[in-house]
Structure 1
Amino acid sequence: MIKTVIFDMDGVIVDTEPVHRYAYFQHFDELEISVTDDLFATFTGNSTRNVFQKLKHAFGLDHDVEDLIQRKRNIFNDAFDTKKDLHLIEGVEDLIKDLYQNGIQLIVASSASKVTIERVFNRFKLHQYFSDIVSGEDFPKSKPHPAIFEHAASLAIGKKDECIVIEDSTNGIEASYAAGIFCVGYRSANTKLQDLSKADVIINHFNELNAEKIKNLK
């Protein structure tokens, strides 16, 4: 029986992807580099640090990676504070509350920074439902490396095979697969360029899930 659900955050709990995209492309313009949509799609699920490590190599940037990260985060934070229509993914709040009320442990394991996770959790009052928050900034390698999910599973109240991951990106699903954790792939408008084929189950809306169904997955 499933005892723990490990949620990705961006694109699964909250739709911050458009804000991240805006911040990245504003920064790319400042850096005078041309990042194609196809290249940008490969970064989904990566930490900001890993993205800029790759861009620094690809475009021969002289900037320090930490400076690049901070500038992008500043643009993101400004946009986050002014974007009035930032909202939770449709149906996910009801699912989170249902899982919590039925005694299922909830963990978030996101490539986002701790600061960004805190901003989202504070804005939408999510702390009360989640036992643990795991940030990708604590790991040297981003998804698809499995480290973040392996660590999240180590915090679970049960065994690894009593956990599931909910993800919306190719890299996240690859990470869950590599960690040997059952994965629910969430297909949304923002994931049309993502390959969800390695997910064990694919959903198109969170109303397809509830505590009873999740407990008996596998």
Structure 2
Amino acid sequence: MNAQRAVIFDLDGVLTDTAELHYRSWQDVTDALGVRFDRRINEQLRGLSREESLRIVLADRWEHTPEPRRVEIMREKNDRYLARVAEMTPNDVFEGIPALLAALRQAGAALAVASSSRNARVVLERLSLAGVFDAVVDGNDAPRSKPDPQVFTAAAAQLGVPTTRCVVVEDAEAGVQAARAAGMRVVGVGPAERVGAADLVVASPGMLRADALLGLVAVV
């Protein structure tokens, strides 16, 4: 690509609300296991891989759960999650996001999704957003999950845009840390106590503005 600037979006909590689908799927699994799980614990899973999420969910049980059983639990949770994803439609895209993407494209920015989820492409297809982005990097492509910067540096490489010309939009603390580790500017979506280390913080995805995002990586 010939773009001089890029905007790289996290998926869950930025483009759509899959957090609730994850919560309900984990709730199904933990109820069957007899493991305590609530929304506070669910918040800790933002931006983490499936395995790291399970480690938090199982807590003290992690070390006593054989690897084959861990794999089985993760598969059970993912199956329940995908069943819920199958019911998603383009109406589940956050309000304001389609207009934002159009404005960024009009401004000549390259666009990417970088998510720790291995199901990112499936979700984008359900939302009719798959063709909007120039690159999609997920947990299948970048196995080291956030706060490791791998998923973001891989997205920048696919776009052919230097990391210093990329701005990331994230809703998780681990994602903000990963973007900074990649040498990128970052906009946090959500409460300051979670994403306050970002260069710019907005309360919700609907408050994102193309000029504010691109202003963080202005071409001089």
Sequence identity of aligned pairs in percent?
A: 27
Q: 1:186 to 1:164 in 2, by over 3 A?
A: same
1:195 maps to 194
Give the TM-score taking structure 2 as reference length: 0.85
Q: CA deviation at 1:161?
A: 0.8
1:150 maps to 153
Q: CA deviation at 1:81?
A: 2.9
List aligned pairs for 1:30-45, cutoff 5 A.
30-45=32-47
Q: 1:67 to 1:193 in 2, by over 3 A?
A: farther
2:144 maps to 141
1:10 maps to 12
Deviates more, 1:103-112 or 1:28-37: 28-37
Number of matched pairs = 212
Q: CA deviation at 1:74?
A: 1.0
Give the TM-score taking structure 1 as reference length: 0.85
Matched, 1:90 2:95: yes
Q: CA deviation at 1:42?
A: 1.6
Q: Secondary structure at the match of 1:195?
A: helix
Q: Secondary structure at the match of 2:131?
A: helix
Q: Which amino acid aligns with 1:97?
A: A
In 2, distance between residues paired with 1:193 and 1:21?
A: 22
Q: 1:38 to 1:109 in 2, by over 3 A?
A: same
Q: CA deviation at 1:209?
A: 3.9
Q: CA deviation at 1:133?
A: 0.8
In 2, distance between residues paired with 1:213 and 1:2?
A: 16
CA contact (8 A) 1:2 1:215 kept: no
Q: Which amino acid aligns with 2:157?
A: S
In 2, distance between residues paired with 1:205 and 1:57?
A: 31
5+ residue gaps, structure 1: none
In 2, distance between residues paired with 1:125 and 1:85?
A: 6
In 2, distance between residues paired with 1:22 and 1:141?
A: 25
Q: Secondary structure at the match of 2:86?
A: helix
Q: 1:204 to 1:57 in 2, by over 3 A?
A: closer
- Specify which of 46, 63, 69 is matched with residue 64 of structure 1: 69
**Which structure is higher in RCO with an 8 Å CA cutoff and minimum separation 6?**
1
In 2, distance between residues paired with 1:80 and 1:86?
A: 13
2:182 maps to 179
Q: Secondary structure at the match of 2:108?
A: coil
Q: CA deviation at 1:53?
A: 4.0
Matched, 1:105 2:110: yes
Deviates more, 1:126-135 or 1:150-159: 150-159
Q: Which amino acid aligns with 1:52?
A: L
In 2, distance between residues paired with 1:206 and 1:83?
A: 18
In 2, distance between residues paired with 1:83 and 1:125?
A: 10
Q: 1:68 to 1:168 in 2, by over 3 A?
A: same
